[in-house]
Structure formats: C-alpha cells, structure tokens
Amino acid sequence: MGGEILDLSPDIKTVGDLITFQRSRGEVFDEIFQHETIVRIAVDQEHVDDMGFDLSEAKEIAFFPPMTGG
Amino acid sequence: MKITPKVKVCLEDFDLKHEIDQLTASQQNAGAVVSFTGVCRDEDGLLDALELEHYPGMAEAKISEYAQSAIERFELLGLTAIHRFGKIAVGDNIVLLVAVARNRQAAFDGANYVMDFLKTNAPFWKKEHLKDGSKGKWVDAKDADNSALKKWQS
C-alpha cells in the first residue's frame, strides 16, 4: 500500500471535506474520488462511511478500493 | 470463561491438521469441528499465482472483530482464522477458518459468517499473475460477496 504524510489545512474538518480537497489535487484524484461508493475509507483503521465524520482526532486516514480477500 | 479466537495474518503457509489439533486439544465438550480452506485457483488455466496485499494492523483487527463476534453469536468453543499475504501460487492455501462448537450447525455457521465478513470487509486485495507472463489485473469485488452478508443481518 502507498502512503503520504500531509499536514491538513484546519478547514478540513470532516471526511467529506478531505474528499473535496483530494478531488482538487488533480485530474486523477478527481476521477477516483467521484466514485464515492467505490472508494472505501478507514480512519485510524476503522471503516467510516459517514461524510460528516469528524477528523479532528484522526491520525491515519486510508482510502482504498473494494476489498477482495478470502 | 471468555473464548478468544486465534487470528494470524502471515506470509507462511499453515497446516490444517496442526491447527485443528491445537484448537480441539483442550475441548471435551466439542461435538463439531468445521474447517474451510480457501485455495488459489487457476481460473481455467489463466493464472499462475495471486499476489495478496493487505493493510497491516487493520487486517488483523477486522478479522479478530468478526471472529470474536462469531464466537459470541454462535456460542463457539473455539475459532482459528489464518489469512496469508504475498505471492500465492495456484494450488496453495490463502485462508483457513476452523470453528469448534457443541453442535454442527453452530460450527458451520461460525466459519461461514467469518468468511462472509472477511471477504468484503477485511482489507486484503488480490492481484493476478497470468500464465503467459502478461500483467494481470486487480481482482474485482463481487456483488455475490456483498449479498452474502445480508443473510446475517437479523
């Protein structure tokens, strides 16, 4: 899995804000994040699907495709 | 006494008999042992191997959560769940579930329940390695796997 360390602007308060920010980062980001129901989100290793989820205490945020284990 | 599952996410292979023996060694009240082994198939001659990626930490945590929930829901006497990662050749093991219970239905259901949740909610991804050497694709999630979850929602 790939990763990057970002200092988020204080304006980014929720998962929805972060996705809006991600979409603004370039064409590829915009393409991926327009599929809101496909991109899975985990905050500190717990699944999150509420766009209003508060990120103020979050340390690690993961975006990933649908899982295909087993 | 609270029963906790044995959960392992690892590179190395597992041994079915060893895992069953370990799980049943101290069980005098177990009447049913169900195991499921997921194996890498060749997709009708196309595949050489699968490469499994996972999200370390979260993968173990999610499997443990579903395993613990199965123990409580089906009153299991023991449960082992092992999921491998890395490159897995056709015919090799990917995943193992062993469920031990008083009666067969609980053991079948417990193993089935953990597999259903693991397939759709534990962070693992499979990439194909094709026999002809060309670059395979990431395996797509299946709708059937998502609908399999619905039977447990009651």
CB contacts, 8 Å: B119 with chain A = 67-70
Look at B115 and A62 and tell me if their CB atoms are within 8 Å. no
Closest CA to A3 of B140, B57, B86, B10: B57
Q: Name the token pair of B130.
A: 């094709």
- Residue among A62, A65, A67 whose CB faces B122 most closely: A67
Taking the Cβ of residue B125 and every Cβ of chain A, the question of whether any pair is shorter than 8 Å is answered with yes
A8 CB within 8 Å of a chain B CB: no
Q: Which residues of chain B have pLDDT under 70?
A: none
Angle of the B58-74 helix axis to the B104-121 helix axis, nearest 10: 150
Residue A8 is predicted with a pLDDT of: 86
Alpha helices by DSSP H, chain B: 16-24, 58-74, 104-121, 143-148
Helix (H) or strand (E) holding A16: helix A15-23
pLDDT tens-digit map of B61-87: 999 999 999 999 999 999 999 999 999
Q: Taking the CA of residue A15 as centre, how many other CA atoms within 13 Å lie in the half-sphere pointing to its CB?
A: 20
Write down the pLDDT at residue B22: 96
Strand order of the β-sheet with B47-54 is B86-89, B47-54, B124-130, B135-138
Residue B105: name the closest of B39, B48, B31 by CA.
Answer: B31
Question: Rounded CA gap, B98 and B107, in Å?
Answer: 8
| Residue (of B114, B141, B138) closest to B127 by Cα position | B138
A69 in B contact zone (CB under 8 Å): yes
For residue B118, the chain A residues in CB contact (below 8 A) are 69-70
- Cβ atoms of B108 and B30 within 8 Å: the answer is no
A62: chain B residues, CB-CB within 8 Å: 55, 58, 123
Strand partners, B8: B82
Model pLDDT, residue A43: 97
Residue A2 DSSP code: -
Cβ–Cβ below 8 Å for B83 and A47: no
pLDDT per residue, tens digit, chain A (70 aa), is 678 898 888 899 999 999 999 999 999 999 999 887 789 999 999 999 999 999 999 999 999 999 999 9
Size of interface A-B (CB pairs under 8 A): 59
Name the residue type at position B2.
K
Query: In chain A, which residues have their Cβ closer than 8 Å to the Cβ of B124?
Result: 67-70
Residues in chain A: 70
Residue B4 phi, psi dihedral angles, 5° rounding: -110, 145
Nearest CA in chain B to A45: B58
Segment holding B28, helix H or strand E = none
Judge: B55–A69 Cβ closer than 8 Å, yes or no: no
